[in-house]
Each structure stands twice: as structure tokens, then as C-alpha cells.
């Protein structure tokens, strides 16, 4: 592999990429980052619908962003990916992976032949029939993964890995900063939100929720009869307003509270489910990432609902910045590039 690698976050509205030098080092160097917009319909919830269109956008991304490496890591983290607890008899990781097609058919929404399977070991214990390995089954619809890889290939890029986005996020925001204890990392993206619960740096639980910031934008657009740009502006400026609300803002605030409360409840229920199934391992704090986490008042509302400490994560705490990188500009848009950074860091895992 080349000394630098590029993590690519394929979103519905944009492609975002981060190039890292020497990702295996304790503190790699971020060489460059860039994003380009995508036309409507080219990508749907992280899945490439129009490979040629996305390939063209990738070529533009490389040209304008000045990326040097052609080695890339792609991410998957939509509803075409499943992550579930799985316990199997103790054996080598190679044999576990070979046995997955015979073990998990009943857990999959598609035939085994149409899925890509992997197993992420977490711990070992003793079951009724002897030693077992506890871990996470990762299953992705093959067609969705190969569609994203095809777009990269058409752009002249080499996909060296495809990583689960929640793992990429936990790597950059929890594991590498060496945050101890049991932490719930909530990433609020445009179309999906992910919950990954990490204990002493090791992911224990993953859930992907098919709701994101774009749902709120769409609700405002329809409810207020405004265009998407106006709806996005209203969302960012109003947020979860507290105190007295001007009458003119009342309809917007009601929509924001209605949509956001559903997401907040889903996040709380997911954290509670984890705690109920593991009574001795309760979540101690929550870290937020993603553009949706920047909604005014969201962190405070989540803290009140869960009675846990909630804070925004710092994605760039464990990387150095090249001299050519504008640190202030990068931190101003850091939430947009967290996934791409985590993917690039995963190339060394």
C-alpha cells in the first residue's frame, strides 16, 4: 500500500475525502481534504445509484482537491448493512468467517449468496457446550457494496478496504483518543444516524437508524411550503428554541420539536436497550458527531432525556495537520469530514 491513503465518505449530496500520510503511525498527518457536490439521485442513502455520475464527481474531487494517492477506503453505514450480536463456538477467526453462511441465514433479510459477511470478535466466555466467542455479525447487501466499489474503479481508484462507518467513527473519536469506560457514540448524518457503544475502546454494539438531518429539512420544506435552501436555513437558525418564541416562528419550532423528539426518543431507547441487556455495563457518557449534532439545543435535550453527560467529539485530536492545511477552516467544518478521516485511519487496522 502507498504511504498515503484516502478515506471517501459517499453522501447523498456530496463526496468528502481526507488523505492521510502514514496512517499506521501513532499520529498520522492529514495532508488534504476536500468535498464536491453530487447531483440529486446519484447516491441514495450512501448507496451509489449512478456509478458513472459518481465516478465523474470522484475525478473532479481528485482534480480540485489535489489528492495524490489512488488507494481509497470506502464506508458503508445505511439500512443495507446489518450489525447484530452473535455468539459462536470458539475457533480461529478464519474458521468463524468460513462458517458464517451456515450460521446466520435466519438473521439476514436477503439470501446468504446476496450478502457480504464478516465477524468482529469482542470477548470470549464459556457456553453450555464449551468455549465461545462473542462478537458482532456484520452483513452488507453485496450489490450495494459493489456499486460503490465500481464507481471508485471507474474513476481510476483502487479500493483497498470497505469499512463499516460506525467502526470508522468509533476508531477516530473513541479508540484512538483512548477514552475509557462505556461510551455511546451517536453520529447524526443526513439520511441515517448510527449508534455505536464502545467499552474501553472496543465496539460492543452497533445500530443504524434510518433517520437523519435531511428528514427534518424535508419536514420543514413540506410543512412551511418553502424550498430546500430556506428549510435548511430555518433549521440551522431556529434549532430547539427555548423560552418565548415569536408567533411567526411557532410553526417552524413545532415541526422541529416533533421530528427531533422522535429521533431523541429512538436514541434514548437504543441506549436503554443496551443497558437492559447488559445490566453490569451501563453507558457512562455520550459523544456526538455529524452535522445533525450541531442543531441548536440538541445536545442539551439529549442530556436531559438520558441524564448522561453529552459532548461533541473532536475528530482531529490524534492526527497532525500538514502545513498546507488551514486548521481553522478545517475545524469549522470538522463534522463533515469525520467519517472520511475514520475510514482513512482504518486502512492501518
pLDDT in tens, 72-121: 999 988 778 888 899 999 999 999 999 999 888 888 888 899 999 999 99
C-alpha cell at 198: 464502545
Which domains occur in the chain, in start order? 81-141 (3.30.1490.300), 177-314 (3.30.420.40)
Q: What letter does residue 92 receive in the DSSP assignment?
A: -
What local confidence, expressed as pLDDT, does residue 242 receive?
75
CA angle, 76 as apex, 73 and 81 as ends, to 5°?
Answer: 150
Burial environment of residue 87 by CB neighbours within 10 A (0 to 12, 13 to 18, 19 or more): middle
What local confidence, expressed as pLDDT, does residue 26 receive?
85
Given a cut of 90, whether residue 160 has pLDDT beyond it is yes
Residue 335: which of 308, 283, 299, 285 has the closest Cα?
Answer: 299
Residue with cell string 469530514: 337
Q: Which H/E stretch holds residue 28?
A: none
Residue with cell string 457514540: 185
Residue 216: phi and psi, rounded to 5, are -70, -40
* Strands lying side by side in the sheet with 115-127: 81-89, 130-141, 115-127
What local confidence, expressed as pLDDT, does residue 91 receive?
93
Residue with cell string 436514541: 267
Average pLDDT over residues 154-182: 93
**How far is C-alpha 294 from the chain's CA centre?**
15
Q: How many CB atoms are closer than 10 A to CB 269?
A: 12
Classify the C-alpha dihedral 94-98-104-110 as positive or negative. Answer: positive
Given a cut of 50, whether residue 1 has pLDDT beyond it is no
Amino acid at each position: 500500500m502507498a504511504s498515503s491513503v484516502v478515506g471517501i465518505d459517499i453522501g447523498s449530496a456530496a463526496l468528502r475525502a481526507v488523505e492521510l500520510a502514514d496512517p499506521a503511525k501513532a499520529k498520522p498527518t492529514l495532508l488534504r481534504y476536500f468535498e464536491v457536490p453530487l447531483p440529486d439521485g446519484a447516491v441514495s442513502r450512501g448507496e451509489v445509484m449512478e456509478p458513472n455520475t459518481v465516478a465523474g464527481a470522484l475525478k473532479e474531487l481528485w482534480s480540485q482537491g489535489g489528492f495524490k494517492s489512488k488507494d481509497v477506503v470506502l464506508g458503508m453505514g445505511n439500512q443495507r448493512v446489518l450489525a447484530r450480536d452473535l455468539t459462536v463456538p470458539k475457533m480461529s477467526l478464519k474458521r468463524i468467517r468460513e462458517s458464517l453462511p451456515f450460521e446466520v441465514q435466519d438473521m439476514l433479510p436477503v439470501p446468504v449468496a446476496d450478502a457480504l459477511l464478516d465477524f468482529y470478535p469482542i470477548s470470549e466466555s464459556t457456553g453450555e457446550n464449551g468455549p465461545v466467542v462473542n462478537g458482532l455479525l456484520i452483513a452488507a447487501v453485496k450489490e450495494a457494496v459493489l456499486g460503490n466499489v465500481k464507481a471508485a474503479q471507474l474513476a481510476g481508484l483502487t479500493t483497498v478496504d470497505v469499512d463499516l462507518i460506525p467502526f470508522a467513527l468509533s476508531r477516530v473519536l473513541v479508540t484512538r483518543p483512548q477514552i475509557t469506560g462505556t461510551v455511546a457514540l451517536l453520529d447524526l448524518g443526513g439520511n441515517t444516524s448510527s449508534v455505536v457503544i464502545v467499552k474501553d475502546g472496543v465496539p460492543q454494539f452497533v445500530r443504524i437508524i434510518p433517520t437523519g438531518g435531511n428528514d427534518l429539512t424535508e419536514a420543514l420544506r413540506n410543512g412551511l411550503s418553502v424550498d430546500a435552501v430556506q428549510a435548511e436555513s430555518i433549521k440551522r437558525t431556529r434549532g430547539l428554541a427555548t423560552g418565548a418564541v415569536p408567533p411567526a416562528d411557532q410553526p417552524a419550532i413545532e415541526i422541529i420539536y416533533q421530528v427531533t423528539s422522535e429521533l431523541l426518543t429512538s436514541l434514548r431507547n437504543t441506549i436503554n436497550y443496551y443497558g437492559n441487556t447488559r445490566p453490569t455495563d451501563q453507558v457512562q457518557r455520550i459523544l456526538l458527531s455529524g452535522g445533525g449534532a450541531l442543531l441548536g439545543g440538541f445536545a442539551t435535550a439529549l442530556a436531559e432525556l438520558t441524564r448522561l453527560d453529552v459532548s461533541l467529539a473532536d475528530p482531529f485530536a490524534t492526527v497532525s495537520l500538514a502545513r498546507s492545511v488551514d486548521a481553522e477552516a478545517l475545524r469549522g467544518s470538522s463534522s463533515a469530514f469525520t467519517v472520511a478521516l475514520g475510514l482513512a485511519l482504518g486502512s492501518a487496522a
